[in-house]
Structure 1
Amino acid sequence: MFGILGLDPAAERVYQELVTSGSSNATDLAERAALSDDAVRAALGQLSELGLITKQVGKREGYSAAPPAVALGALLAEQRHALYRAELGLASLAEAYRSASSDGSARDLVEVLIGAHAVRHRFEQIQMSANSELHVMSEATHEVVASGESVAEEQAVDRGVRYHVIIERAMLDFPGAFEGLTAHMKHQQLCRVVEKVPTKLVVADRSVALVPLSGGSNPDGGEPAAMFVRAPGLIRLLIGLYESVWERAVPVRLVEPNVIELDEPETEPTGLDLRILSLLMVGATDATIAKQLGLGLRTVQRRVAHMMDLAKVSTRLQLGWQACHRGWLG
């Protein structure tokens, strides 16, 4: 919780013990916090250096916590001031970067990145700097960052950044793909599926973008390369491309499973049925659905037939239309 203030987990635990339990000595703290004596001594040294505890002098050496509102408040104020200085430094460096070349403005609008490390680093930066939304197109094959590997993605979601993601249908064949999509969509992320995306793409806040210059898995063995774009005209072009693909893509809808009451006749699709239907609507085959949901192929086919009976249709195309008409998938 307070790692940004310079506290490691052991120091934070010791401080919490002193706050909640009052003054104590190192031996008692080690027992209550379930830490070794050496870890407690190191934690006490760190806390003392930060001004979060005071040492009591007497017959038995002990420690007491400084008031959190005062002690931690001072550290927070110091961090805010440091962040403000860093922002000023960033602005100064950005201005120096633009002025370093006679054509600095043009150089700042488009940058070519060479190498997997450079591309991955900029991809993470774009997600970490996003304030409100990210538009992503993802291929089934990956060259630098595989789906779900980005740590910055989880941090962006925690900050409230909304993802709009278009994936290729082949990605549904990967083990755990549907569970991964479901987990993402619980955080208000939107996802659609197409047969093939024209390119990988990530656009943050409609202001910066990253587009690969090398394609697929780069079979020629050359280093991955990408173009980092800030030029407003190019950003509008890329957003237009994204929106045209989004319009023809099939939505993936979040359907929670529910309990199937086997003793009563089913008059509506069950949660399992709707999960199967959700995958059918994005073009997954029966075999793919069975693999993703851990079912037998005949079970999937039987549940599809059951939904067709409920909808009173004879083809899967009609089932899709009825599902939309009846609002089965929200």
Structure 2
Amino acid sequence: MLEALDLDAVQQQVYEALVDGAVTTAELRDGLGLSVTRVRGALGSLEELGLIQRVAGRRRGPDRFLPVEPDVALAALLAAREEELQRARRHVHHLAARFRAAADARDPLDVVEVVVGRAAVMQRVDQLQRGARHLVRGVDRPPYVNSDPDRHDARTGMMPLQGETMRRGVAYRVLYDAEGLATFHSTHTDILACAELGEEARVLTSAPTKMLLADEQTGILPLRTTHYEVASCVVVHASGLLDALSSFFEVLWAQALPLSDFLADDEGDGDGPGLPCDDTRLLALLATGLTDQVMARQLGVSHRTFQRRLRATMERLGVTTRFQLGMVAARLDIGGGVVQPEADRVAP
């Protein structure tokens, strides 16, 4: 835990052993299983840092080492590191101001940057998210450049970088394409995990392109794609073109349907009077315009079970067609009040 103070593993072991009561080189060697050379090296560096003090041994006995009270010694190191970080932060702000000033005089050809190769594209996508300060907006659709399993949390399926970015206060608004929900994402894992961190999620039946925007400074969209992955991308810096992409995203956002009702807490009692939470989630999912097969997958049930659950919901609400079901959803203000018809009546 003390790596931030530039203490290596051996220094930490030795210091903590001294805090716990060890006082001589021999005790440290035996207790930690380290060589005398490594123990002495760690003691010397800790002494230079002011974390320990040496007491001469009595009657030619071995020297004893006593730790300086951690609240005092480590607080001094923390204060020094915080001052270094403040200086670095001020310099970063200075560099950012210089960059923006230079951008105003930038050659128009520098507004657009072409990146080729999957690894390079992944790197730029990561850089965009790490550089975001307020808002990341994205249009999510296949193919996926970040589809490697080792780039996703094994439990939730979400990308750790997005989680880190959201935890430092950056908001996310993401439009999910229906095909991506059908083939790649799961509302029970990655999308739900993102929603719990505050991501606003909506769904489009057919998104026109992939896109990622960070604040009003940078945007990325694919240049060419293969069937399986993004092979190249265009990075757009602050400009009229980026403003147009931002406006385009807002138009798509206004047309999309929210996933918030479907992602609501299962422990709730539903949004309508006497309406169970399962029914609320089903109505919200119907509003997305996904096919019945895809909705069944997102609910984790078979197509037949989905049809049976849909029939039961319609019976509880006293309707016989999906149009009537949409009227109920509108009255209860679920999923934007729209139920997309795959078929007017549910198959028997």
TM-score band by shorter chain is 0.7 to 0.9
* 1:199 pairs with 2:201: no
Superposed CA offset, 1:135-157 (max 9, x none) = 10121222x32397454322211
C-alpha distance in structure 1 between counterparts of 2:180 and 2:163, whole Å: 20
* 1:182 pairs with 2:180: no
Q: CA RMSD in A?
A: 4.0
Superposed CA offset, 1:162-202 (max 9, x none) = 11111110122236611211111112211111122111111
Residue in structure 2 matching 1:112, options 93, 111, 114: 114
Offset at residue 7 of structure 1 (A): 4.6
Offset at residue 69 of structure 1 (A): 2.3
Determine if contact 1:23/1:64 at 8 Å carries over to the other structure. no
Query: Counterpart of 2:345?
Result: none
- Letter paired with 1:130: A
Residue in structure 2 matching 1:283, options 274, 282, 289: 289
Query: Counterpart of 1:169?
Result: 178
Alpha-carbon distance change, 251 to 14 in structure 1, aligned in 2, over 3 angstroms? farther
C-alpha distance in structure 1 between counterparts of 2:191 and 2:119, whole Å: 26
C-alpha distance in structure 2 between counterparts of 1:182 and 1:292, whole Å: 11
Offset at residue 2 of structure 1 (A): 5.2
C-alpha distance in structure 1 between counterparts of 2:193 and 2:40, whole Å: 37
Query: Counterpart of 1:322?
Result: 328
C-alpha distance in structure 2 between counterparts of 1:105 and 1:302, whole Å: 61
Identity %: 27
Query: Counterpart of 2:123?
Result: 121
C-alpha distance in structure 1 between counterparts of 2:276 and 2:173, whole Å: 28
Q: What secondary structure does 1:76 align onto? A: helix
TM-score computed with the length of structure 1 as normaliser: 0.76
Alpha-carbon distance change, 202 to 325 in structure 1, aligned in 2, over 3 angstroms? same
- Letter paired with 1:166: L
Alpha-carbon distance change, 237 to 82 in structure 1, aligned in 2, over 3 angstroms? closer
Alpha-carbon distance change, 6 to 87 in structure 1, aligned in 2, over 3 angstroms? farther
Query: Counterpart of 2:253?
Result: 246
Q: Which moved more, 1:250-259 or 1:147-156?
A: 147-156
Alpha-carbon distance change, 230 to 328 in structure 1, aligned in 2, over 3 angstroms? closer
Determine if contact 1:178/1:292 at 8 Å carries over to the other structure. yes
Alpha-carbon distance change, 14 to 255 in structure 1, aligned in 2, over 3 angstroms? farther
C-alpha distance in structure 1 between counterparts of 2:18 and 2:289, whole Å: 58
Offset at residue 247 of structure 1 (A): 1.7
Higher Cα Rg, which structure: 2
C-alpha distance in structure 2 between counterparts of 1:43 and 1:81, whole Å: 34
Offset at residue 134 of structure 1 (A): 0.9
Residue in structure 1 matching 2:308, options 302, 305, 308: 302
Determine if contact 2:11/2:46 at 8 Å carries over to the other structure. no
Alpha-carbon distance change, 9 to 218 in structure 1, aligned in 2, over 3 angstroms? same
Q: What secondary structure does 1:224 align onto? A: strand
C-alpha distance in structure 2 between counterparts of 1:18 and 1:312, whole Å: 74
TM-score computed with the length of structure 2 as normaliser: 0.73
Residue in structure 2 matching 1:45, options 36, 42, 46: 42
Superposed CA offset, 1:77-131 (max 9, x none) = 2233244445556666x489879xxx84324422222222222211111111111
